[in-house]
Each structure stands twice: as structure tokens, then as C-alpha cells.
Amino acid sequence: MKTVSSLLDDEWYKRYKKISKLNIRSSIYDVTNRCNLRCKGCFFFSSNEHKAANEEVDIKKWESFVEKEKERGVNLAILIGGEPTLCLDRVEVFDKQLSTFCATNGLIKIPRDRFPKMGIGISLWGSGEDEKVLRGKNTFPISSKNYEGDPYTYYLYTITPRQIGKTEHVIRKIEAAGLKVHMQLLSNDEGVDGFFWTIEELKDIREEMDDMLDRYPGTVISSKYYHEVITTGKMLGRPFGWGECPSVTAPLDKREPRPKHLTNFVRWASDLQTMHRCCTSETRNCSTCKDGAAHMSWIMVNKRAHMQSTGDLQNWIEVYEMFAKLYQFIPW
């Protein structure tokens, strides 16, 4: 059997050793069922996950819940919603006890005096025109003003088919705001006309994403292998989907055979008792799922499959590093 050290030279082996120590154990939390936007294609609202549970309002219960999550081995809390900034007291409970990442639409500024180093990811759905169509508002002017130059914030840029040929403009604006960017693809959960991906478009956007990474390496946090996997839906010839997805809530996962999966992963609803099926929409068709984190995790949990060649293992290392940078386990 091939070993890691036999496949890598000294430099790559050092990179491997750095990430192999991290042992990231994440779970995802709906902080609230409310949002100050209603985006067309938001997986949370389109699948009625906002009605799955009543929000827990007693902050003491949030405190004891987070303590139990720590005991369960979680070392990365990913906060979503709804819009977590509507409930900063709940966000603070996580940030005080755990390495925490908060996804936000960026309209409300998270005060850095209260959350000095918390990782923040601002959702962005393209240029102003697309944002108006899909989200009812061009959020960038507000979010970029709120977070300009922030060293722990990046844009999570959800690319739509209409963005082909236009991503550079968006990335340059992000660079000018002194922020980083990570790209993923729209899954179009609400079937908005003109926002479905064709095979040709996926090929085009893959080339464009590669080009952006080459030209803006100090701004774009990504990897070409991630681009390949997310645009083709294939990893080492295996198709992504329900049978392979690693981001299914562990206690609800009754798949046989059970694929490689994230250890003890749970996506919790805001009552702190209900669990959702997976890291994204409860009702999404897995065969068309483009969720970026699920694809990254898919690669990460399949290290052994990437030990057939040096190139495969280097691809795996780059994706792991990308994930670790996005969640602040290593500097970007």
C-alpha cells in the first residue's frame, strides 16, 4: 500500500503534517428562524426549515447546549440561520466557548469589540443586478462598508449561471475592499428561470474560477481540484449525491452502506433539539446539490481514495488547507 510519505516530497509532507494535526469536528447551528432578507433560492426558507422548530429564547439554555456540544467533541461551530446577527447574544454564547464561524448577509455589522476574532462569511449572490433579482437588494455596498479591511472576514460568493464572464468584476471589488473571497455555485432550490446550470455553463465557469484563482491568488481562497469536483459533481470518477454525501446529520443517517462521513456531525435547528437532515436544504434533490462545504467535506473524508498518486494526494491537501483557511484553523 502507498504511504503518505512515499507520495510526497519534503515540502508537501510538511504541508500534510500541518493539517493532519487539526482534527476538525464541525457542526452547524440555526441561530434563528428569521432573516432581514428573503432570497429566492435560500435553502432555509425554500425547504420550510424556518418552521421546523420554535426558537429557544432562554439564553441560559443556549449556554448549557453549547457546553454539551463541546463535550460531544465539536471544535468548530458554524452559525447560520436565518440571519445570526439578529441574535448576537446567542452568537456570543458560541464565540465565548468554541472556535466559531458566522455566516451573515453582511447588512448588520458584527461589532469587533465584542467578537474580536470570530470568522465571518458574507453571502454574496453575484453582481448588483443578480442580487436585486434574487435577493431583492444589492447587498454589496452595505456589507463591504461594514467589513472593509477586516482580517477575519471573507465573501462567500455564490456564482449563478448569469455570472459567467462577470466574476472578475466582483472579485476586483472584493479585493478593493481589502477582503477575501471563496466561490461556490447556486443550486437554484426555488427553480428561478434562467438560473439553472447547463453542462456547458459548468465547464465555462470552471475555467473562469481557475483563471480567477491564478490571477487573484491573494484574494481568492480556493483550489482547482475543488473547482473540478463542484462543477463536474464527480470525484475520482464517483458521482456526488445521497449515496456519497458526508454532511448528513449523524444520528439521522441510516444509509447502508454508510459512506465516509463527518464525525458526529449534526445540523441543529434553533430549538436546540430538532435536527435537520444535512448541512443544507431538507428538501433538495441530492443529485443536483452544489453545496460547496458538502463537496469540500466529501473530498476531505476520502483521504485514502486520494492515495493512489502524488497528484491526487496533493489535490486532497490543497482542499483540506482551503477548508482550514476558511474556518481559521490556519492563516490565509
- Characterize 258-269 residue by residue with b for buried, 16 or more Cβ atoms within 10 angstroms of its Cβ, and e for exposed: ebebbeebbbbb
Name which of 131 and 318 has its Cβ closer to ligand SF4: 131
Q: Quote the CA–CA distance of 139 and 107 in Å, as a whole number.
A: 7
Which is nearer to ligand SF4, 80 or 177 (by Cβ)? 80
Q: CB-side exposure of 300: number of CA atoms within 13 Å?
A: 26
Shortest Å, Cβ 240 to ligand SF4: 7
The candidate with the shortest Cα–Cα distance to 95, out of 116, 109, 80, is 116
Stretch that binds ligand SF4, among 5-13, 77-85, 231-239, 311-319 (CB under 6 A): 77-85
H or E element that contains 14:
helix 10-20
Nearer to ligand SF4, 118 or 286 (CB): 286
Determine which residue in the list 26, 100, 105, 144 makes contact with ligand SF4, applying CB under 6 A.
105
**81 upstream amide cis, omega within 30 of 0:** no
Nearer to ligand SF4 by C-beta: 46 or 219? 46
- Taking the least distance from each CB to ligand SF4, the nearer of 124 and 177 is 124
User: What number of H helices and E strands is found in the chain?
Assistant: 12, 10
Residue from the set 248, 313, 317, 326 that interacts with ligand SF4 by CB under 6 A: 248
Q: How far is the CB of 248 from ligand SF4 (least distance, A)?
A: 5
| Residue among 97 and 138 whose Cβ is closer to ligand SF4 | 138
279 near ligand SF4, rule: CB under 6 A? yes
Listed ranges 7-15, 75-83, 192-200, 310-318: which one lies at the site for ligand SF4 (CB under 6 A): 75-83
Cα angle value 283/79/64 (rounded, 5°): 110
Using CB under 6 A as the binding rule, whether residue 294 contacts ligand SF4 is answered as yes
C-alpha cell at 205: 465557469
CA atoms within 13 A on the CB side of 254: 1
Closest CA to 154 of 307, 20, 323: 323
| Residues of this chain, 213-242, that bind ligand SF4 according to CB under 6 A | 242
Name the one range near ligand SF4 by CB under 6 A: 56-64, 159-167, 172-180, 243-251: 243-251
Rounded to a whole number of angstroms, the minimum distance from the CB of residue 123 to ligand SF4 is 5
Site string for ligand SF4, 135-174 (x = CB under 6 A): x---------------------------------------
Pick from 26, 212, 41: which is nearest to 119 by CA?
26
- Rounded Cα distance between 224 and 210, Å, is 6
In this structure, which amino acid lies at residue 140? F
Number of residues in contact with ligand SF4, rule: CB under 6 A?
26
Interactions with ligand SF4, residue window 2-61 (CB under 6 A): 35, 37-39, 42, 44-45
Cα angle: 79, vertex 108, 323; to 5 degrees? 35
Question: 83, 189, 318, 321: which one contacts ligand SF4 (CB under 6 A)?
Answer: 83
Binding status of residue 280 toward ligand SF4 by CB under 6 A: yes
CB atoms within 10 A of CB 114: 11
Binding residues (CB under 6 A) for ligand SF4: these are 35, 37-39, 42, 44-45, 81-83, 105, 123, 135, 242, 245, 247-248, 278-281, 284, 286, 289, 291, 294
